[in-house]
Homo-oligomer: A and B are copies of this chain.
Amino acid sequence: MNDNIHIQSSTPIRELPEPTLRRLPWYLAYVGMLKERGVEYVSSTQISKEINVDASMIAKDLSFLNIRGKTRIGYEVSVLDHELQDFLGFKRGHNAVMIGVGSLGASLISDSGLVNYGLRIVAGFDINPEVVDTSICDVPIYDMKHFSKLIPSLNAEIGIIAVPIHVAQQVSDTLVEAGIKALWNFTPFRITAPEGIVITNTSIYAHLAVMYNRLGLQSTLRK
């Protein structure tokens, strides 16, 4: 909880605490489900019960969006769905390039789910001659050596990094130099970048470490 963050602003984009930002898509997932079912109103208590998040936290998170629930009735489902969608930017297209078209990179290009969340991968880059000049799901794969030359025409602000760890930092530097503004890092390597560059780390494999540890503990308890 970040009780000290209260942003009063009339600009369209406000900096929200990361935990809040991460919870908003959970609410959207649930509210979207209610919308499909034709439900008209939902209270934070109801959301709380369904998704296991404290009701007061939900109310607080939603207050960042200037959505107010009505007493006894709750939030209007269609308004909540629209405001969350709009705020989260999932309906707007964001162009991205995929750096490293190995197993994970190719998988992410194939994952059409990303498009539903506003991410359009417009090109892939690699150094492996076996994948360069091919395409995956109509996304062209180019040679990394042409990156700086091709990037202006691709209109992409986001670079997704799925390269071997020993080149992760070097690739990040190349991307930043070429004008990429956000790095979505899927490698377990902690990349660094100049101030103003957005870095998002998604360590799929780090989650496995947590799962294995907890699983081992549980099996110890069962014995």
Contacts and interface: CB of A to CB of B under 8 A. Distances in A.
Contact of A220 (B11, B23, B187): B11
Main secondary structure of the interface of A (DSSP, over half): helix
B182 A22 contact: no
B217 A29 contact: no
Interface residues of A, number: 79
B188 A211 contact: no
Interface string A74-118: 000000000000001110101000000011101110111110011
Contacts of A139: none
Interface in A164-223: 165-166, 181-182, 184, 187-190, 192, 196-198, 200, 202-222
A150 interface: no
Given A36-B166, A89-B216, A190-B51, A210 B21 contact: yes
Contact of A215 (B11, B157, B192, B203): B157
A145 to B, nearest CB: 23
Nearest to A107: B107
Contact of A22 (B12, B209, B222): B209
Given A182-B214, A198-B211, A188 B26 contact: yes
